[in-house]
């Protein structure tokens, strides 16, 4: 139904200054979906041009996160590809060469102003209630003189030359034309005094050289978007399709996520960093589904999407340009949906490590049955230990006050336990066909409600007040353990 499109080349280009968070992950997802649905390529590029903010482990963090989410790059630092290297720090010469090309064409110039001078003019502008921007001092330096100073080794940067009059119009796929007065645009630095390019140059050069067809990036780039458009024009390059989805807002909708919010979310059991998600019990399927729907929708009713669905159904046309608050309770909901969508064998393998982490020794013989019993009850994989760990224990701790319900005496409880032992001993298999009616009759004989007997059974067998259905539980536990736990309870009640 979607019209055939040319294979898209879409890049995810994070800066290794921190870990991959929800916002970046959503961008990566959209990148991946757009690439895959068109039979194109998903490219990972590391934008490590800022040595001061460089975090060494960040790149590995991105890769782990992308791998966990199921978004493997077709090209990138590890995957390689026709446009290697994919780390900008290794492409320094390329940027320099392009910057010099702009100097030649008159679209850029050498600037010898010191950081101190820049600070000073900024302070003055602030004091005069003016907008802060470069004052253009080096703009009109004779090219020969500037070149000579550079040749002499004088410290310098290269700045992009923005016309001082007129306007610039850049076209965003979601928002249409964005026009600004050139006078509000700054002569931004292209090459820093350390010789490395700045984002504005490096990303544009790479996007062109790498044949990127669609640039999907956060809307924090909107203010500099017209400059980027001018850079493409200065080189005479064809622009990619620009898409600026909006940012994520904190859950209450007030402001974008900050460091503090990240910590706060984590404390309340919700992740901001992708790599926190696995241990918090989230499924990558659910995270992708959930993230995709913050800022994108397919129609007025469909919300459950597998990765295959997303690849087929995603479209940048349906992206929503307005800022969106993240809604964690919906993440829980999607996690539940995707857990229930798992094959039970798959679910079993996913919960195994969580039982182990909780200190249980998993019995492979019953794990599939345990999984089946708790699958519809699980929202987060982290819950399984508390919910079903008793299946893997030899005994459960009994609290007589909890076994004896308010409606019965300890003596009655002991009697009930004894009668249950007899009842279960008499059958070859404990299941609802063989035992439910006798159990209900027994309750009536004792003047109790069936619910009281079920409650006693539940506490006795599981040590919990909530558990999977009892006959299913007993089937998994086995006749032997079931009876042993009842006998032990009866004894304790009798001696209690």
Within residues 254-283, the interface with RNA by CB under 7 A covers: 254-256
Q: Which of 272, 294, 366, 413 binds RNA (CB under 7 A)?
A: 294
Residues 54-73 binding RNA (CB under 7 A) are none
Per CB under 7 A, which region of 146-154, 291-299, 343-351, 476-484 contacts RNA? 291-299
Give least dist CB 188 to RNA, A. 7
Give least dist CB 190 to RNA, A. 9
Helix, strand, or coil (residue 218): coil
Copy the structure tokens of residue 352. Answer: 């195994």
Give least dist CB 445 to RNA, A. 17
User: What are the angstrom distances between the C-alpha of 179 and each of 52, 175, 182, 465, 489?
Assistant: 33, 11, 9, 64, 78
59 vs 332, beta carbon nearer RNA: 332
The CB-based long-range contact list for 28-33 (8 Å cut-off, 24+ gap) reads: 28/66, 28/69, 28/71, 29/69, 29/71, 29/288, 29/291, 29/292, 29/310, 30/216, 30/243, 30/245, 30/292, 30/296, 30/314, 30/316, 30/319, 31/216, 32/71, 33/292, 33/310, 33/311, 33/314
Does residue 169 touch RNA according to CB under 7 A? no
First to last CA, the chain: 72
Give least dist CB 115 to RNA, A. 4
Residues 347-386 as x/- pattern, contact with RNA by CB under 7 A: -----------------------------xx-x-------
Residues 121-150 binding RNA (CB under 7 A) are 122, 129, 131-134
Catalytic status, residue 92: no
Active-site entry in 6, 52, 259, 406: 259
**Do 150 and 144 form a contact (C-beta atoms < 8 A)?**
no
Q: Which of 19, 86, 95, 199 binds RNA (CB under 7 A)?
A: 199
Distance CA(120)–CA(378), nearest Å, equals: 60
Task: Cis check for the bond before 85: say yes or no (omega within 30 of 0).
Answer: yes
Q: What share of the chain is helix, strand, coil (3-state, %, to 5)?
A: 50, 10, 35
Does residue 12 touch RNA according to CB under 7 A? no
Helix, strand, or coil (residue 38): coil
Residues 299-318 as x/- pattern, contact with RNA by CB under 7 A: xxx-x-------------xx
Does residue 5 touch RNA according to CB under 7 A? no
Give least dist CB 147 to RNA, A. 18
Burial 24-42 (b: 16+ CB within 10 A, else e): bbbbbbbbbbbbbbbebbb
Residues 82-101 binding RNA (CB under 7 A) are none
Residues 231-250 binding RNA (CB under 7 A) are 246-247, 249
Q: Which of 351, 416, 421, 470 binds RNA (CB under 7 A)?
A: 470
Copy the structure tokens of residue 377. Answer: 């009850």
Residues 441-460 binding RNA (CB under 7 A) are 450-451, 454-455, 458
Does residue 402 touch RNA according to CB under 7 A? no
Give least dist CB 168 to RNA, A. 10
Give least dist CB 495 to RNA, A. 27
**Do 171 and 242 form a contact (C-beta atoms < 8 A)?**
yes
256 vs 266, beta carbon nearer RNA: 256
- Closest by CA to 204, choosing from 47, 341, 361, 405, is 47
**Number of residues engaging RNA in binding (CB under 7 A):** 92
148 vs 340, beta carbon nearer RNA: 340
Residues 6+ apart with CB under 8 A from 417: 456, 460, 486, 487, 489, 490, 493
Q: Which of 101, 327, 341, 434 binds RNA (CB under 7 A)?
A: 327
Does residue 115 touch RNA according to CB under 7 A? yes
Does residue 168 touch RNA according to CB under 7 A? no
β-strands 157-160, 189-191 pairing: antiparallel
Catalytic residues: 259
């Amino acid at each position: 139904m979607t019209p055939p499109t040319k294979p898209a080349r879409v890049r995810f280009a994070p800066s290794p200054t921190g870990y991959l968070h929800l916002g970046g992950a959503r961008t990566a997802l959209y990148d991946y979906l757009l690439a895959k649905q068109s039979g194109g390529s998903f490219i990972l590029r590391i934008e490590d041009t800022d040595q001061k903010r460089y975090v060494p482990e960040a790149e590995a963090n991105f890769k782990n996160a992308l791998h966990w989410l199921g978004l493997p790059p077709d090209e990138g630092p590890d995957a390689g590809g026709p446009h290697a290297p994919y780390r900008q720090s290794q492409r320094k010469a390329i940027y320099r060469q392009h910057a010099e090309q702009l100097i030649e064409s008159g679209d850029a110039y050498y600037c010898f102003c010191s950081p101190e001078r820049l600070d000073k003019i900024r302070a003055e502008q602030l004091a005069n209630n003016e907008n802060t921007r470069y004052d253009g001092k080096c703009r009109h330096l004779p090219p020969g003189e500037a070149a000579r100073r550079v040749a002499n080794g004088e410290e310098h940067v290269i700045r992009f030359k923005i016309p001082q009059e007129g306007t610039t119009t850049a076209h965003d796929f979601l928002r249409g034309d964005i026009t600004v007065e050139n006078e509000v645009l700054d002569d931004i630095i292209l090459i820093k005094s350390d010789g490395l390019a700045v984002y504005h140059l490096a990303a544009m050069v790479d996007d062109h050289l790498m044949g990127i067809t669609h640039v999907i990036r956060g809307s924090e780039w909107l203010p500099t978007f017209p400059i980027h458009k001018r850079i493409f024009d200065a080189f005479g390059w064809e622009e990619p399709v620009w898409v600026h989805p909006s940012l994520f807002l904190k859950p209450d909708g007030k402001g974008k996520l900050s460091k503090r919010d990240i910590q706060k979310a984590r404390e309340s059991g919700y992740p901001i960093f992708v790599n926190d998600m696995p241990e918090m019990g989230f499924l990558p399927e659910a995270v992708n589904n959930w993230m995709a729907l913050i800022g994108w929708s397919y129609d007025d009713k469909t919300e459950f999407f597998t990765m295959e669905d997303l690849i087929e159904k995603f479209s940048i046309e349906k992206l929503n340009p307005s800022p969106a608050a993240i809604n964690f309770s919906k993440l829980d909901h999607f996690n539940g949906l995707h857990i229930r969508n798992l094959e039970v064998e798959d679910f079993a393998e996913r919960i195994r490590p969580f039982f182990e982490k909780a200190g249980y020794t998993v019995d492979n013989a019953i794990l599939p049955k345990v999984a089946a019993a708790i699958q519809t009850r699980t929202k987060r994989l982290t819950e399984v230990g508390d919910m079903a760990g008793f299946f893997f224990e030899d005994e459960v701790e009994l609290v007589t006050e909890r076994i004896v319900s308010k409606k019965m005496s300890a003596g009655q409880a002991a009697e009930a336990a004894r009668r249950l032992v007899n009842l279960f001993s008499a059958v070859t298999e404990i299941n609802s066909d063989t035992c439910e009616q006798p159990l209900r009759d027994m309750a009536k004989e004792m003047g109790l409600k069936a619910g009281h007997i079920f409650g006693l059974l539940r506490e006795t067998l599981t040590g919990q007040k909530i558990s999977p259905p009892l006959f299913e539980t007993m089937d998994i536990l086995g006749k032997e353990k079931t009876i042993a736990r009842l006998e032990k309870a009866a004894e304790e009640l009798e001696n209690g």
